[in-house]
Amino acid sequence: MPPTRASLEELLLRHGAITQEQLQRARQEQKTLGGELGRTFVHLGFITEDLLVRAWAHQMGVQPVAPHKTALPQELLQALSVQACETFGIIAVGRDPRTNALIVATSDPVNPVHLEAIEKAIGERVLAAPATASSIEAAIRGHYYGESPKTEPDAESEAQSPFDRSEEPGEPEESQLATLLARIERLEQETSARDKKIIQVLRTVGDVLVEKGLISREEYLRRALEE
């Protein structure tokens, strides 16, 4: 696993996913009940499991996976028995091109004890690919039992995560939007009628660019807020 660039709580705070008050409460809960801090955030309802998985992936410098949406070749399915998949909550999703280590989707990717137990059970080295438990379960049911998923287990992952953006710290989107609107209103009050029309045109152009996917909403807000 690549060296981490920041702790999980630092990443969540930096991207506005949790507050300092929520972090303190989660730490108190962790002292009482134990367990991993990220799971405590999920247990308390501060973040979703999907967001936790994306944060882990961001921290590890890898991409999260959705095995229930992935076509897996037969040789990968044969690399793990269904019993091993169900016991450890994993499914094979690839092999490392350099080392040939088995890449497994797991909802516990930063737990070395969990990974060591998997390696001991299957007799080969594994690399972790972060995934939600619901996606892994749906993949096992689909790939090994031929079942179709009744619902999309992590449809939320289609929405943009704060960890899909730049790692540079910044204001949450709602705060950025409010600041941008306030600035536009101030400019409209201070400028002439001609300049007001120019501002309105620029705002319309920005909306069109976002709608057509030529620029992300976050990038548009960031540029608009630059002095």
Q: Is pLDDT at 98 greater than 90 in this prediction?
A: yes
**Residue 78 tokens, joined:** 């044969």
Work out the percent of the chain whose per-residue pLDDT is above 70. 63
| Torsional class of 217: left (φ above 0), alpha (ψ -120 to 50), beta (otherwise) | alpha
For residues 47 and 171, the model is more confident at 47
Which CATH number do you get for residue 130?
3.30.300.160
Q: Are strands 126-130 and 90-95 parallel, antiparallel or unpaired?
A: unpaired
Q: Is pLDDT at 1 greater than 90 in this prediction?
A: no
Cα(95)–Cα(129) distance, integer angstroms: 11
**pLDDT for 143:** 95
Are residues 44 and 104 located together in one domain of the fold? no
Of the residues 111, 128, 163, the one at which a domain ends: 163
**pLDDT for 148:** 80
Domains: count for the chain: 3
CB contact at 8 A, 64 and 131? yes
Work out the percent of the chain whose per-residue pLDDT is above 90. 56
Closest CA to 104 of 113, 119, 152: 119
Q: Give the chain's length.
A: 227
Tell me whether residue 209 is in a domain. Answer: yes
Average pLDDT over residues 10-35: 93
Angle at 18 between CA 48 and CA 139, to 5 degrees: 20
pLDDT (tens digit per residue) in 58-78: 989 899 999 999 999 999 999
Are residues 73 and 125 located together in one domain of the fold? yes
Q: Is pLDDT at 25 greater than 90 in this prediction?
A: yes
Q: Residue 158 belongs to what domain range? A: 67-163
Question: Considering the chain, what is the average pLDDT of its residues?
Answer: 81
Are residues 91 and 159 located together in one domain of the fold? yes
Average pLDDT over residues 154-178: 50
Q: Is pLDDT at 173 greater than 90 in this prediction?
A: no
DSSP string, the chain: -PPPSS-HHHHHHHTTSS-HHHHHHHHHHHHHH-S-HHHHHHHTTSS-HHHHHHHHHHHHTS----GGGS---HHHHHHS-HHHHHHHTEEEEEE-TTT-PEEEEES-TT-HHHHHHHHHHHTS-EEEEE--HHHHHHHHHHHHH-PPPSS-TTGGGGSPPGGGS-SS----HHHHHHHHHHHHHHHHHHS-HHHHHHHHHHHHHHHHHHHTTSS-HHHHHHHHH--
Are residues 29 and 79 located together in one domain of the fold? no
Q: Is pLDDT at 224 greater than 70 in this prediction?
A: no
- 11-20, 118-127, 204-213, range with greatest mean pLDDT: 118-127
Are residues 51 and 31 located together in one domain of the fold? yes
163 backbone dihedrals φ, ψ, rounded to 5°: -85, 5
